[in-house]
Chains A and B, each alone.
Chain A
Amino acid sequence: MDRKLKVSSNPHIRSKVTTNGIMMAVVLALLPAAGFGIYNFGVRALLHILITVASTVLTEFLYGLYRKKMTITDLSAVVTGLLLALNLPVSAPLWIGAVGGVFAILIVKMLFGGLGQNFMNPALAARCFLLISFPALMTDFACDAYSGATPLAALKAGETVNVMDMIIGRTAGTIGETSMIAIVIGACFLILLGVIDLRIPGSYIVSFALFVLIFGGKGLDFQYLSAQLAGGGLMLGAFFMATDYVTRPITVRGQYLYGIFLGIMTGIFRIFGPGAEGVSYAIILGNLLVPLIEKITMPRAFGKGGAGHGRK
């Protein structure tokens, strides 16, 4: 008799997608931005990246040894380290990435239960931790290649900026955020692989653009708008950090809502806030709202609730 029936217990649908496959894809997608950062800022940027990644991986390794549960092979520590390094200014002292790496992995991720349990994006939480702890070191963007303010700071001060330089990435800023082209190449790679989709980045960028148009005080100034879009960490944040699987909403409507919230918050921080940049704070605030967003956008199970639900 043919064995047409295969009897097994659930789950019956299996996917070839694995955590370290996804993480590997993200690492590959970040390479253009990292490569451009090294080209743009020199060997010191490479040193920053190596130290930060070594710090996150080593922290995860040691914690794994202590808890006797090794999670290092899922590569998430590498992604966290790389993202954090791309968010550091190149002239910061080299130990700063190591401190941030320990904070990201130990405090934000492992103490809350490891990958999948962290309530905030570890790399961004560590960036904000460093930004609050060492404000002078973390906002000093002067380096060998560039001495002026970042494009966003110049924009905030009312100066004009060269948008073409910003799109290519030949400006001051953190290691990985300057080149819009490099980031978008990496993002396209992830979208083609199906690792991320455009729901969160799209709604984030569109709602931010609308916010700038309405409240930016410049009217329909295309040059100002494109400088706001290309400047700072918006692209890196929208494609690589807001889309973090663990800290984004899982519902489709929730993801749009989340993107819109991030866009509005970033706009508020950039236009009305004291600083020039606000992507990091916007995203970690969004991370905190994710449970609430999921609660109000959770689809109804068939047959439960409905129009008559709640009526006496």
Chain B
Amino acid sequence: MKKTSGAGERLINGIVKENPTFVLMLGMCPTLAVTTSAMNGFGMGATTLVVLALSNLIISLMRNIIPNKVRIPAFIVIIASFVTIVQLLLEAYLPSLNDALGVYIPLIVVNCIILGRAESYAYSNPAIPSLFDGIGMGLGFTIALTCIGAVRELLGTGEIFGARIMPQAYTPIGIFVLAPGAFFVLAMLCALQNFVKLRGAKAGKDTSRIGSGCSEDCMNCGEKGCGRRKFYDDSDDLIVEDLSAKEGK
């Protein structure tokens, strides 16, 4: 496991240590906007998972032929292709979910989790770990969105996945299916997550992040999955090449 930089490790990293929603605080727009019910949260998460895993895989495979200077447009084109595929599939097979998520499906193109993983992981790592990084991050996002959606749905309507949980006497707290409720629930779950983590840290468990938490000290950093290091090296090479080319003239 260790030598392949661990598919399992990438999964755990995405779900727990670097959970995109609760730890990295990425992709807040869909997180807050579409989690009005557990089903919507799950649908959004699953859609993002598919796009994330496939785009990570393709970007990783193409990482040696994408020029450094145009990598962002190249990433966007790859991601947008997958988003279009997923959107057409949703329209064909799950029209109700497609209607519920609405404009947030095309907006996955600019979801910062996907672009972030492409930039910081897939572009500088082999294909298989990148695929699992995408799956792990996608699972983390899906779990987070489903949790937020479930809590909002439970408090706001008394149901989870459309099944009545609360007794009939319960008066739904309507604010939880409105925008402010998204912030309340996200903050509460985030606090809960930090609380559990602090408990774990006190008990001596390793809760450090794996890929981010960068101190910008690349010289002394043992982080292999870091995109930054490669870009710094590349840009240095570029400058050196430019200078030598000029001198040659």
Partner of B175, one of A93, A132, A137: A132
Contacts of A134 in B (CB 8 A): 171, 173-174
| B 171-182 to A, binary, CB cutoff 8 A, 1 in contact else 0 | 101111010100
Give the docked Cα–Cα distance between A262 and B171 (Å).
Answer: 33
Report whether B184 and A133 are in contact in the complex, using a CB–CB cutoff of 8 Å. Answer: no
In the complex, whether A129 has a CB less than 8 A from a CB of chain B is yes
Contacts of B174 in A (CB 8 A): 132-135
Contacts of B178 in A (CB 8 A): 132
In the complex, whether A181 has a CB less than 8 A from a CB of chain B is no
Of the candidates A93, A107, A132, A135, the one having the most CB atoms from chain B within 10 angstroms of its own CB is A132
Give the docked Cα–Cα distance between A133 and B157 (Å).
Answer: 11
Give the docked Cα–Cα distance between A269 and B25 (Å).
Answer: 35
Report whether B180 and A107 are in contact in the complex, using a CB–CB cutoff of 8 Å. Answer: no
Contacts of B173 in A (CB 8 A): 99, 133-134
| A 112-136 to B, binary, CB cutoff 8 A, 1 in contact else 0 | 0000000000000000010011110
Give the docked Cα–Cα distance between A99 and B173 (Å).
Answer: 10
Give the docked Cα–Cα distance between A93 and B176 (Å).
Answer: 20
Report whether A107 and B175 are in contact in the complex, using a CB–CB cutoff of 8 Å. Answer: no
Contacts of A93 in B (CB 8 A): 171
Q: Separation in Å of the A124 CB from the closest CB of chain B?
A: 14
Interface of A is mostly: helix
Q: Separation in Å of the B228 CB from the closest CB of chain A?
A: 35
Q: Separation in Å of the B64 CB from the closest CB of chain A?
A: 49
Within 8 A of B (CB), among A81-116: 93, 99, 107
Contacts of A99 in B (CB 8 A): 173
Q: Separation in Å of the B156 CB from the closest CB of chain A?
A: 9
Give the docked Cα–Cα distance between A242 and B111 (Å).
Answer: 41
Q: Separation in Å of the B232 CB from the closest CB of chain A?
A: 38
Give the docked Cα–Cα distance between A93 and B169 (Å).
Answer: 12
Give the docked Cα–Cα distance between A93 and B174 (Å).
Answer: 16
Contacts of B180 in A (CB 8 A): 132
Q: Separation in Å of the B233 CB from the closest CB of chain A?
A: 42
Within 8 A of A (CB), among B161-207: 171, 173-176, 178, 180, 184
Contacts of A133 in B (CB 8 A): 173-176
Q: Separation in Å of the B157 CB from the closest CB of chain A?
A: 12
Report whether B171 and A107 are in contact in the complex, using a CB–CB cutoff of 8 Å. Answer: no
Q: Separation in Å of the B132 CB from the closest CB of chain A?
A: 37
Give the docked Cα–Cα distance between A39 and B176 (Å).
Answer: 36
Q: Identify the closest chain B residue to A135 (Cβ).
A: B174
Give the docked Cα–Cα distance between A248 and B178 (Å).
Answer: 28
Q: Separation in Å of the A112 CB from the closest CB of chain B?
A: 11
Q: Separation in Å of the A285 CB from the closest CB of chain B?
A: 14
| B 88-101 to A, binary, CB cutoff 8 A, 1 in contact else 0 | 00000000000000
Q: Separation in Å of the B113 CB from the closest CB of chain A?
A: 27
| B 203-218 to A, binary, CB cutoff 8 A, 1 in contact else 0 | 0000000000000000
Q: Separation in Å of the A122 CB from the closest CB of chain B?
A: 15
Give the docked Cα–Cα distance between A20 and B36 (Å).
Answer: 42
Q: Identify the closest chain A residue to B184 (Cβ).
A: A107
| A 126-163 to B, binary, CB cutoff 8 A, 1 in contact else 0 | 00010011110100000000000000000000000000
Give the docked Cα–Cα distance between A266 and B177 (Å).
Answer: 27
Give the docked Cα–Cα distance between A296 and B173 (Å).
Answer: 38
Q: Separation in Å of the B108 CB from the closest CB of chain A?
A: 30
Give the docked Cα–Cα distance between A93 and B171 (Å).
Answer: 11
Give the docked Cα–Cα distance between A133 and B173 (Å).
Answer: 5
Give the docked Cα–Cα distance between A129 and B183 (Å).
Answer: 13
Contacts of B176 in A (CB 8 A): 133
Q: Identify the closest chain A residue to B177 (Cβ).
A: A133
Q: Separation in Å of the B181 CB from the closest CB of chain A?
A: 9
Contacts of A107 in B (CB 8 A): 184
| A 265-303 to B, binary, CB cutoff 8 A, 1 in contact else 0 | 000000000000000000000000000000000000000
Give the docked Cα–Cα distance between A134 and B184 (Å).
Answer: 17
Nearest 3 A-B pairs (CB), nearest first?
A: A133-B175, A133-B173, A132-B175
The interface of chain B, by Cβ under 8 A from chain A, is: 171, 173-176, 178, 180, 184
Can you list 9 A-B contacts (CB < 8 A)? A132-B175, A132-B178, A133-B173, A133-B174, A133-B175, A133-B176, A134-B173, A135-B174, A137-B171
The interface of chain A, by Cβ under 8 A from chain B, is: 93, 99, 107, 129, 132-135, 137
| Given A107-B184, A129-B175: 15 more A-B contacts, CB < 8 Å | A93-B171, A99-B173, A132-B174, A132-B175, A132-B178, A132-B180, A133-B173, A133-B174, A133-B175, A133-B176, A134-B171, A134-B173, A134-B174, A135-B174, A137-B171
